[in-house]
Amino acid sequence: MEPLYLQVAEVIAARIEAGTYPVGRRIPAVRAMADEFGVSQSTAEAAARVLRSRGLTRATHGRGRS
């Protein structure tokens, strides 16, 4: 079984690829991801780091993730 942060990252990545979160638009905030998936904020932050490392998102300070 994959670690939780990878499971969350996979779901968000699939949503990005499906167009649920269009390119250039923000994905849910870390807190919102944690709430939706029932994980800790640190787990959601790890998922967000995975998405950034894959080039699917980028951090823009003061604007949230897009």
Q: What's residue 7's pLDDT? A: 98
Fold topology of 4-65:
Arc Repressor Mutant, subunit A (1.10.10)
Q: Domain spans of the chain?
A: 4-65
Q: What is the pTM of this model?
A: 0.86
Q: What's residue 20's pLDDT? A: 95
Span 52-65, average pLDDT: 78
User: What six digits make up the tokens of 44?
Assistant: 């959601």
Residue 37 CA to residue 32 CA, distance in Å, equals 9
Q: Angle at which helices 41-53 and 30-37 pack, to 10 degrees?
A: 120
| Tens-digit pLDDT profile for residues 17-46 | 999 998 888 899 999 999 999 999 999 999
